[in-house]
A and B are shown apart, each in its own frame.
Chain A
Amino acid sequence: MSLTEYGLQQLTNALSIGSLYALMAIGLAMVFGILRLINFAHGDLMMVGSYSALGLIFIGLPYWAAIPAAVVVAALAGILMERVAYRPIRGAPDVAMLLTSFAVTIILENGAVMLVGARSRAFPIPDFLRTVYHLGNLTVASVNVVAIIATAVLLVLLTLFVTRTDIGISMRAAADDMMAAQLMGIPINRVIAAAFAIGSGLAGVAGLLWTVKVGKVDPYMGFFPVLKAFVAAVIGGFGTIPGAVVGGFVLGFLEITFQALLPGEWSAYRDALVFAILIIVLLVRPNGIVGARAREEI
């Protein structure tokens, strides 16, 4: 394998993992931008989506219908989460909201354990997602191609949504200055619900892609991805959608680079390195690569 091919191989790997992080980070960033809430429970929406898909396929729905339906379920779960847990505590100190989202995570994960058990379950994967393409010396799994394409399409749709629709523009206004947006007559509850719905739907998509990649679902599957999505969102600049996307791909590239460059026994430490980078970014550039918010520092 030539160096170029090796580079291309790693590039596809980085793009596919980065697109998952980006999808997750967008939801975190949309909610954070408006409410200044770090929604730790965002990862569990991946789990909700994947289990719903599993259940719908189990009761006999065809694949092409179960997948979008599962995404809708994830979106509804996000709206419900906001209504029940986050609306009553809106405007509370940052940390109180963050802790609430921790509690929501505990509730969702233990709820899943109670409903379906703690063991992981195999997820049926259709043949077209199992294929691996060979282009010369390159090997590309079709699920990675689907992930990259789906993310690209969703990013275009999302861009159109936040720039062309009323509710999308309201969302950006609310993220900019919630008080002023309210004074301008923006229906803030509807905007927040929409942000949760879209972010959660994207998390559902990310969860399904993740599930197809690893072939199984379990109640704790969202835990590590959401931590990674935090890192992505912070690297990019927390609270902005472009920041989340940039951060997601940067994180994907960083991880693949660590994996490629670190010697064998150290490559297991790459996650530690990723979080060390997060701390460094917080210190050096707390607004991230794209962000514009004022820094909070003593």
Chain B
Amino acid sequence: MARSAPRPDLPVTGLDWRRYAAMAVPVGLLLLLPLYADHGASAYEHRVIVILGIDIILVLSLNLFSGFTGVFSLGHIGFMALGAYTSAILDMPVASKAINLPDLPAWLARVELGFLPAMLVAGLLAAAIALVIGLAILRLSGHYVAVATLSFLVIVRVVLINATPFTRGSRTFFGTQDYTTVWWVYAWVLITLYVAWRLLRSLYGRAMLAQREDRIAAQGIGVQVLRTRLWPFALSAFLTAVAGALWAHYIVAFSPNAFYFTETFAIITMLVVGGMGSISGSVVGTVLIVVLSEVLRNLEGGFAICAVQIPPLYGLSQILIAVAFISVLIFRREGLLGDREINFARLFERWGNGKGS
């Protein structure tokens, strides 16, 4: 499934300008999106760009855990839900809380944090929960961990629906402030990208890859498997919760249904299509699937081909994406990029000074 040997993807020649140029290109390309969203995009395009950014954070943080460690989590959307609800409760104005969440315990009813602190607290809470459950379930492998993380997702949902004083149960949660801007989202996209990239190239990241490729051999050279999985799991939960907070403060009114199987499947599709283990693959996969779903969804309402009116077929976009997903799994299981990266450094090779690769 993957090559494990460290590769000299970037020329490591000290303060080589090409190294910075190679980083500037993808960052610049990504920042074109919020720039466009702020200048001249329609309301619809603005919305797609925000959601795309949030999806990129979700996919990257899932990749940062599952792609790098090879342990598949089906429960990440549970962390997203935790982040969304926790941050929304924490930064809701006290007056609004009295109306929307009258049964909140007194100590929480008096709290009113800013957006960033609320987001960070939500992230830390998710990370703490990830550490606790991770200690238990990350000992497992293969299906077992998939089933265990799926159970976590179901548990989160049951709690959300029943913890009515905090979440209004299965009813819509109102009163979230619309703090999220496209710049908030893309700032976190860049942070997530940077964290994933640094992690992958760190000693710690190499240990993650090593135990993914061959657990026994990795243990043989002193990699502690549980610890190598646990901290990325917590980090990933933190970032996923942050994405949940961003989402909540953009969508404003939501219910537990948003954080369940459909969203889980969407994120996994983006990850697998892009290539598990590849950071640029996650971005490419997310862009591809988000754009494809938007195009298909616009067709769903019915359209005309050569004067033949095609009737509305709601649900067709999901079916087509699922078919595409199965095709990728059958014909190109490693996804578009596998665990390789798009190497922007190559762009600058011709201007090299002979030291680069």
A-side interface residues toward B, CB under 8 Å?
36, 38, 85, 88-89, 92-96, 98-100, 102-104, 106-107, 110-111, 113-114, 223, 227, 230-231, 234, 268-269, 271-272, 275-276, 278-279, 282-283, 286, 296-298
Contact = CB atoms under 8 A, between A and B. Distances in A.
Given A102-B268, A227-B154, A107 B162 contact: no
B225 to A, nearest CB: 4
Contacts of A230: 147, 150
Interface of B: 1, 72, 133, 136-144, 146-148, 150-152, 154-155, 158-159, 161-162, 215, 219, 225-226, 261, 265, 268-269, 272, 313-316, 318-319, 321-323, 325-326, 329-330, 333
Given A98-B143, A107-B323, A110-B322, 16 more contacts: A38-B147, A96-B333, A99-B268, A102-B265, A103-B326, A106-B322, A111-B319, A227-B154, A231-B151, A234-B147, A268-B161, A272-B155, A283-B140, A297-B140, A298-B138, A298-B219
B interface, by DSSP: helix, strand, loop or mixed?
Answer: helix
A114 B316 contact: yes
Given A110-B316, A276-B155, A298-B215, A283 B323 contact: no
A297 B151 contact: no
Given A38-B143, A271-B158, A297-B140, A110 B315 contact: yes
Nearest to B133: A279
A129 to B, nearest CB: 30
Nearest to A267: B162
B90 to A, nearest CB: 23
Nearest to B169: A268
A interface, by DSSP: helix, strand, loop or mixed?
Answer: helix
Nearest to B313: A114
B267 to A, nearest CB: 12
Contact of B261 (A96, A223, A272, A282): A223
Nearest to A238: B143
B141 A96 contact: no
Contact of A296 (B141, B154, B316): B141
B272 A99 contact: yes
A95 B72 contact: yes
B333 A271 contact: no
A269 B142 contact: no
B159 A272 contact: yes
B268 to A, nearest CB: 6
A25 to B, nearest CB: 13
A88 B330 contact: yes
Contact of B137 (A107, A113, A272, A282): A282
A106 B319 contact: yes
Contacts of A111: 315, 319
B142 A89 contact: no
A234 B143 CA distance: 11
Contacts of A106: 265, 318-319, 321-322
- 8 closest cross-chain pairs (CB), A and B: A110-B315, A272-B158, A275-B151, A103-B322, A106-B322, A113-B315, A298-B225, A268-B162
Nearest to B229: A298
A36 B141 CA distance: 14
A248 B319 CA distance: 32
9 contacts: A103-B322, A106-B265, A107-B322, A272-B162, A283-B137, A296-B143, A297-B141, A298-B215, A298-B225
A271 B260 CA distance: 15
Contacts of A38: 143, 146-147
A278 B151 contact: yes
A283 B134 CA distance: 12
Q: Which of the listed residues A99, A297, A298 has the most CB atoms from chain B within 10 Å of its own CB?
A: A298
Contacts of B162: 268-269, 272
Contacts of B329: 89, 92, 96, 99-100, 103
Contact of B142 (A94, A114, A234, A275): A94
